[in-house]
Every structure is written in C-alpha cells, then in structure tokens.
Chains A and B, each alone.
Chain A
Amino acid sequence: MTLYDVAIVGAGPAGMAAAIEAAKVGLATTVLDEAAQPGGQIYRGIETACEARLAVLGKAYRDGATLVRAFRGSGVDYRPGTTVWHIEDADPGFVLYASTSGGSVALGARFLVVASGALERPTPMPGWTLPGVMTAGAIQILIKASGALPRDLVLVGSGPLLYLLGAQMVAAGRPPRALVTTVPPSRYLTAARYYTPLSRAAHAYLIKGIGLLSRLALARVPIHSNARGIRILGNDSVTGLRFFSGGRDREIDTNMVALHQGVVPNQQIGRLLRCDYLWHAGQHAFAPEVDRFGETSRVGVFIAGDGAGISGAVSAKLSGRLAAWRIAQHLGRTAPDPGPALAALRRDRAVRPLLETLYAPSPEVLDPSDETIVCRCEEVTAGAVRKTVHDGAVGPNQVKSFLRTGMGPCQGRMCGLAVSRIITVAAGGDPGEIGYFRIRPPLKPLSLNELAELELTDAVE
C-alpha cells in the first residue's frame, strides 16, 4: 500500500491550500474528494463555468480560479470522485478507505488533514420533506454545476448564503418569487454590540451583505421579515407556503422552496476518528477541539476549514496552510513563519460573533413542533424523540437504538443536531455533555461489490 506523508480529505479552499503548501515543502501528498472537480462548495464547477455563469456567480466565485489553478499545478496526487468511508489507525499513521467509480482503494498516510467542510444546517419544519423543497445550497449547486435555476422560487430562512443566492438569481434574470426571512428586527440591535472591534476585513463582509439585500430590493423582490409559524403546504409535492409576518398571516403559492439557516461543521470524519468535540454556543453546533494549527485531540489528525468551525472561505485557506506547515515541521522540514497567517486568521474571524448573532438559527427550527419530522430517513418526528427522552432514553445513542434515528442511509447527518438538542432541552445542561451519535464506518453505505473488491486488492498487494 502507498504511504503518503499527508492525506487531505476535501479539495475545497482549505484542502487545496493545504495541498499547495504541503507540495511546496516536498511532502508526499494526496488529496481525496468525492466531487468530480476541485473547488469544494464555494468554487464548485469553476473550471467549466462559462463567462455568463461567472458573471452571475460574482467576484468571490471567480477569484477561486487562481487557487484551483495553483492546486492543479502543485503536482499532488489528486483523486477526484473518491469518497472516504473509513479511516483506521495504522503504524505509522493511518489507513484511508475510499470508494471510487472503479471500486475501492486503501492508502496509508502519516498525517491527516480533514478538510471536509460544512453541511447546511438541517431545517426541520412542517412540510420540509416534500418534493419541491430544497436547500439554498442545493440551488446554488444547480447553478454552479448545471447552469439551471427554478422559476418562482421562494427563499426561506436567514444567513448570508441565502441573500447571496437571491442576488445571484437576480443577476441571472430569474429573481426569486419572495424572500421570507426569520430574522427578528431586535437581532440587529443585539448584533450591533459586536460592531466596535471590527477590522477592515470584517467591515467589508458587512458592506457586501447590505449590497446583496439591496440588489433584491432593487429587483422588487417582496421581502417578508421576522416570519413565524412557517409551514410548507402540499400533499405529494409543494403547493405553497404559509407564515405569519408583518402582523398578519400570509400565504404564497409556489412549487419550489429553498431553505437555509446557515451552515454547520461536517463532523462525520472527526467523530469517526474519535476526535474531541465541544459545543460551540455561538454557532449552535459542535466543533472539534483544535489548537491554533488545527491539530485535534488525536495526534496527527488536523481539521482545517469550515469543518473546524464555520469561518468561511478566506479563513479556510489560511487554516489549510497553517495545518500543512505544522505537519511539515513535525516531519522535520522547514516551513514558513506562521505568524502573519495566524494574524490574518484572527482578523478574518473577527466578524463571526456579529454574523452568528444576527443570523442565529430561528427558534422554530431549533425546537421544531411535535408533528415535524426530524429524521428524514426513518420519518421520526420531534414529538416521538421527545416522548422517548421523556420515557427515559438518556443519550443520542439510546434514542438511536429505540427509534432508528441516525440509522438510515444519511447516518444522522440530517437529524443528529436535532436529537442532541431535544435531549439537552429535556435534561438541561450543556449539549457538549449530552454529545452526539457515535459515528461508525462505513461513512456512506457501500455495496457488497465494493467490499468484496477491496478484500481482493488487499490480498493481491
């Protein structure tokens, strides 16, 4: 089996930046990513985007081309279309197991950089499982990868990505039907407290946000703010949206709704490796315990980018570089002085408390009504989870064994935070102590074929 100095999971901004630096200092490096092209979520499809698509997606997207080119030119062993489904301890380092279109591979690495990014926060609400409901990120993926957009899309929720999508739709000549936000006006006052210590970089984020909203207003997209009691209507697919806003009940007819309540760290690989996670109250999510360079509680395992806590693409690049330099040091190579990158990271992250306060997930999504499905795979409602907890289930894994939440194909990616939250509300205390589902391999269901093939390759080598 090949042994690399470092294996990087994810070719988003964090993984690409880590790879470029690792290659510069001469580390034998491989990058595995399940997508067919490099770029991660933000720069998805950038290598094949035509000029019109680049214009619609905006400057921050276009800027990704430079990083992707540098990554392609770095000479690292890049493996697209490769899904990591297990990582095991080995001597030295780790063995990674991944499936590709051609079958399964196993490879060794002394160090790991987990740069598997973020997932959109699952947004349980009545009707969210109906065909016609997607996430805002999913719609962006349709633009980036297929140049496609729905008509009459209603955007629901909060957060910069939702407004960015709205502005991109305006630029594409397909403005959304309406923007329904869940941000109460009082939040602006609370958030303003974090304004004073802002750096220039953080200031730029705010100006950008205001610019996005004004583009929606200029295109005369109806904006309903502080929406409550949101229900998606329909029997077999979406027919409309009902909510309370501006002092009265409202209903919008539509067959497409995009939901968004921010993004949260993707925990699958870090949890599989039994890295320590802490509750990040500001982000309403779990984040791994890492040092300044991204090294986790597990020696040799680094987490970079949004997977280590949501900080966006600029920080993702910086944290990727820092991880690579630290690994270079551990392997006895000379690496650049991390001082300037650490300072830049601090400056870039300064805006986070403000964004986290302003766009905190809506209370309805955090504490969904009893009738709302939280586990999409097994169709388990919030009420059923509450009852099981009331009847004595003490932790996420017990709820899982009683109700099968987290045992379906998504392995808890959709219901994990909701289950931990429901138990926390019932038991009191800190979600960090309640914890999260125990993540086991395989991270994605494998076909028997793939498993059989893997055993065969092992036997041959």
Chain B
Amino acid sequence: MQRCFTPQGRSVRILFEDQPVEAQPGDSVAAALLCADVVWTRSTPVSGAHRAPFCMMGACFDCLVEIDGVPNRQACMVEVKEGMRVRRQQGDAFGELS
C-alpha cells in the first residue's frame, strides 16, 4: 500500500508492536498499518489464523487490535493520535466485553 498524493499536514507517529509507524492526520489506525506494509493485525480465537483489515467500514471486525491497552478496538474506525500504542490482538479478547 502506498500513498499516491502529497501528504497534507504534519505526519503523526504511532507505535505498532513497539515499532514506530508514520501516519497521516485523518488516517484510521487500519489505514496507517496497511500503509506501513503491516501484513496481519490479529489472530483468530478459533484456529489462530492471521487476519488483516477487510472491509474498512466497521462491518467485519477483522481489524480488531489493542489500542492503548484496550482490546477489541476496530482499527478501521479509530483515528490515529500522536503516541498511540497499538498491538495485535492475539486470539480471544472478548472476555473483556459485555
């Protein structure tokens, strides 16, 4: 995935698995990770298969990650913020949910 227009505004830095990732303002976390060529962003609770963002519009939930310590966040629906810490969601984190 590559940017095809000159970026507008100052870039935003987030951390993915402790590695710095440069994002553009207005990017969703999912878009920022895809642009950084991150291949997979979660593993499934059933078989441990790797998954990555699929629909980018909040429908499929394949983009679930941990953001600033909170699991089950939809990476495609959350905008990047300077210093945000993002981790892959490995397996089932749904214990935390209602």
Which residue numbers of A lie inside 8 Å of B, CB to CB? 34, 36, 41, 45, 48, 50, 52-53, 56, 83, 119-120, 129-135, 137-138, 141-143, 145-151, 172-174, 236-237, 376-379, 408-410, 413-414, 442, 444-448, 451
Contact = CB atoms under 8 A, between A and B. Distances in A.
Contacts of B76: 141
B24 A34 contact: no
Contact of B2 (A131, A132, A149, A379): A149
B1 A448 contact: no
Contacts, number: 141
Contacts of B34: 142, 148
B4 A149 contact: yes
Nearest to B40: A131
Contacts of A236: 39-40, 50
B47 interface: yes
Q: How large is the interface on B (under 10, 10 to 19, 20 to 34, 35 or more residues)?
A: 35 or more
Contacts of A119: 55, 57, 59
B62 A147 contact: no
Contact of A410 (B27, B59, B77, B97): B59
B44 A379 contact: yes
B61 A148 contact: no
Given A135-B54, A237-B50, A146 B27 contact: yes
Contacts of A148: 1-4, 31, 34-35
A448 B72 CA distance: 12
19 contacts: A50-B5, A50-B6, A50-B8, A56-B4, A119-B55, A131-B51, A132-B39, A137-B57, A146-B32, A147-B7, A148-B35, A237-B50, A237-B52, A408-B61, A409-B64, A410-B59, A410-B60, A445-B94, A448-B97
Given A150-B2, A236-B50, A451 B8 contact: no
Interface in B39-70: 39-41, 44, 46-47, 49-62, 64, 70
B5 A147 contact: yes
Interface string B25-41: 01110011011000111
A133 B52 CA distance: 8
Nearest to A172: B4
B41 to A, nearest CB: 8
Contact of B52 (A34, A45, A132, A145): A132
Given A50-B5, A236-B50, A446-B97, A146 B35 contact: yes
A174 B40 CA distance: 23
Contacts of A132: 39, 52
B71 to A, nearest CB: 9
Given A131-B40, A379-B46, A445 B72 contact: yes
B96 interface: yes
Contacts of B58: 34, 83, 444
Nearest to A151: B2
B38 to A, nearest CB: 9
Contacts of B70: 447
A53 B7 CA distance: 11
Nearest to A450: B98
Given A48-B26, A447-B96, A377 B61 contact: yes
B22 interface: no
Contacts of A129: 49, 51, 54, 62
The 5 closest A-B CB pairs, nearest first, are A131-B52, A138-B56, A409-B61, A147-B5, A146-B31
A414 B39 CA distance: 22
B31 A41 contact: no
Nearest to B26: A48
Contact of B72 (A45, A52, A376, A409): A409
A141 B59 CA distance: 13
Contacts of B46: 378-379
A122 to B, nearest CB: 8
Interface centre among B5, B28, B35, B79 (most CB of A within 10 A): B5
Contacts of B96: 447-448
